Amino acid sequence: MIGYRQTLLVFLLMMLSGATIAQNNTNSPYTRYGYGQLADQGSGNSKAMGGVAYGLRDKYQVNFANPASYTAIDSLTFIFDGGISLQNTNFSNGTVKQNAKNSSFDYITMQFRLSKWAAMSLGLLPYSNVGYSMTEYREDPDYPSQSSALQYYGDGGLHQLYLGAGFKILKNLSVGANISYLWGDMSRSRYQSFSSNSDIMPLTTIYGTEVTSYKLDFGAQYTQQFGKKHSATVGVVFSPGHDLGNDSYVQQQLGNSTTGYSTSQRDTTMTMGIPMTLGAGVTYVYDDRLTVGVDVMFQKWNSVTFMNEPDAFCNRAKIALGAEYIPNLMGRSYLAHIKYRLGAYYSQPYYKIDGVRAANEYGVTAGFGLPLPRSRSVLSISAQYVRTQGKEAQFLNENTLRLCIGVTFNERWFWKRKVE
């Protein structure tokens, strides 16, 4: 019961800290478009392995990217997993450079066995993040009084609270599903001001959207053993696309506190949705010490309508490679039990600007899984370098260095019940 109380206390503390830092979790001008920056759907080990997840089966980690993996947990285990990130991002478009620091809540999950053939997981994850502040100056040489400064601000994002279950329907085959409550709000504002000698009043336009909907994710994994030390797992995932329930408004304010102002607001419901997602991965494991995996993912964003605008996005694709190595499971030294992780990925984000794809994204990752003394719990620390390369000369380039910290508490519960 002591372990239960410790886990519950840590869970509550991380919930509070996550709710606090989630208010300022990105500062990218690209999040001006669509739902913003889509969150990585991976726990601590996956983040250090380039995002590989679909074929991972680890009885000591929660893998919510593929709910079929829940059946890998052993019979007496309760897992609680939480993570945060700290990041520093440099933006440039060839002439202007800017730097920003942010922190973010990554995930809070728990997992446990239901029976010999079933396991359950629930958790809180971000779906997307919006956060930017930028200024643009428009000069009119013929009519200087009509030159203006434009300021853009945005914040918010979407979150998902999921409940999932996995079932082992055959000895080597598991299936699973997550159902999520998807909600959040996004606010974007545009402030246009003119020179002091102009008779044109400033104009502020605010677009706000509140989303309340759902999300479904399905997965399957098949594992084949080759001798005593070799095994391979193939994993697939599918998420159907659909429209999102929402309440939206457009608010305009002409003037300011000095000149006097008038405000108008129009409430409406926008047509907006999330895409169909397909993913597949293969993972090879040698002697429970070496894990190597590759994932591919495709999202059909070009069929999604956003804010009543069809064809607002480009399709998104990603390929990821990753590996984990443990020197000696039976070794006496602490270093022999550390999990060493490496990974890399290439992605095409869904952003579209002026009718063309906005950027490509590259990332390399590395990290450690540090065992906590006298327990089966693990502290996961990883570093990620991400390069977002604008496709056009006028588009921004971003370089992000991100530190991810995750803690996996692996408690032994249900001592009186044993499931083989």
Q: Which CATH number does the domain housing residue 111 bear?
A: 2.40.160.60
Q: Is residue 417 part of a domain?
A: no
Residue 21: pLDDT band by 50, 70, 90 thresholds? very low
> What is the mean pLDDT of the segment spanning 259-274?
79
pLDDT at 414: 52
Instruction: Give the residue from 361, 300, 295, 283 showing the smallest Cα distance to 50.
Output: 295
CB 78 within 8 A of CB 411: yes
> What is the mean pLDDT of the segment spanning 391-401?
88
- Tell me the C-alpha distance between 11 and 74, whole Å: 21
pLDDT at 22: 46
Q: 337: buried, middle or exposed (CB in 10 Å: 19+, 13-18, 0-12)?
A: middle
pLDDT at 332: 85
pLDDT exceeds 60 at position 172: yes
Q: Is residue 79 part of a domain?
A: yes
Taking residue 317's Cβ as centre, other Cβ atoms within 10 Å add up to 14
Percent of the chain with pLDDT over 90: 57
Residue 1: pLDDT band by 50, 70, 90 thresholds? very low
Please list, in sequence order, all residues whose beta carbon lies within 8 angstroms of the beta carbon of residue 14, skipping any fewer than 6 positions away: 82, 108
Per the listing, tokens 């588009």 go with 395
Q: Is residue 418 part of a domain?
A: no
Residue 22 or residue 331, greater confidence: 331
pLDDT at 413: 62
Q: What's the whole-number average pLDDT of the chain?
A: 87
**In which region does residue 289 sit, left (phi positive, over 0), alpha (psi from -120 to 50) or beta (all else)?**
alpha
> Both tokens of residue 137?
């100056």
**What are the phi and psi torsion angles at 269 (to 5°)?**
-120, 120
Least confident of 6-20, 184-198, 240-254: 6-20
pLDDT digits (tens, 9 = 90+) for 80-108: 899 989 999 988 876 667 888 888 888 99
Per the structure, the complete domain to which residue 280 belongs is given by 2-412
Calculate Rg over the CA atoms of the chain.
24
> Both tokens of residue 281?
């991965």
> What is the mean pLDDT of the segment spanning 219-241?
96
Count: domains in the chain: 1
Q: Which is it for the CA torsion 318, 40, 282, 389, positive or negative? A: positive
- Tell me the C-alpha distance between 53 and 244, whole Å: 26
pLDDT at 24: 53
For residue 284, give the 3-state DSSP assignment: strand
Look up residue 119 and give its amino acid: A
Residue 258: pLDDT band by 50, 70, 90 thresholds? low
Residue 133: pLDDT band by 50, 70, 90 thresholds? confident
Q: Is residue 420 part of a domain?
A: no
> Both tokens of residue 218?
């399905």
pLDDT at 144: 66
Per the listing, tokens 């239960």 go with 4
pLDDT at 20: 46
Taking residue 412's Cβ as centre, other Cβ atoms within 10 Å add up to 12
pLDDT exceeds 60 at position 3: no
For residue 124, give the 3-state DSSP assignment: strand
> What is the mean pLDDT of the segment spanning 162-167?
97
pLDDT at 145: 67
pLDDT digits (tens, 9 = 90+) for 334-357: 999 999 999 999 999 999 998 899
Q: Is residue 40 part of a domain?
A: yes
Total residues found in the chain within this entry = 420
Q: Is residue 200 part of a domain?
A: yes
Residue 148 or residue 13, greater confidence: 148
The residues with which 151 forms a beta bridge, in sequence order, are 135, 191
Q: Is residue 193 part of a domain?
A: yes
pLDDT at 255: 80
Instruction: Give the residue from 350, 339, 318 showing the smallest Cα distance to 35.
Output: 350
For residue 50, give the 3-state DSSP assignment: coil
CB 45 within 8 A of CB 58: yes
CB 319 within 8 A of CB 349: no
Residue 373: pLDDT band by 50, 70, 90 thresholds? confident
Least confident of 35-49, 89-103, 305-319, 375-389: 89-103
Considering 56-60, 97-101, 166-170, 410-414, the range whose residues carry the highest mean pLDDT is 166-170
Terminal Cα-to-Cα distance of the chain (whole angstroms): 23
Q: Which is it for the CA torsion 326, 330, 331, 337, positive or negative? A: positive
Report CA 325 to chain centroid distance, whole Å: 25
Instruction: Give the residue from 158, 150, 125, 128 showing the smallest Cα distance to 26.
Output: 128
Q: What is the DSSP string of 163-229?
A: EEEEEE-SSSEEEEEEEEEEEEEEEEEEEEEE-TT--PPPEEEEEEEEEEEEEEEEEEEEEEEETTT
Residue 2: pLDDT band by 50, 70, 90 thresholds? very low
Cα-based distances in Å from 258 to 153, 196, 255: 22, 12, 8
How does 282-292 read in b/e, with b if 16+ C-beta sit within 10 Å?
A: bbbbeeeeebb
For residue 55, give the 3-state DSSP assignment: coil
Q: Is residue 419 part of a domain?
A: no
Percent of the chain with pLDDT over 70: 88
Per the listing, tokens 């990752």 go with 365
- Tell me the C-alpha distance between 137 and 184, whole Å: 32
pLDDT at 6: 52
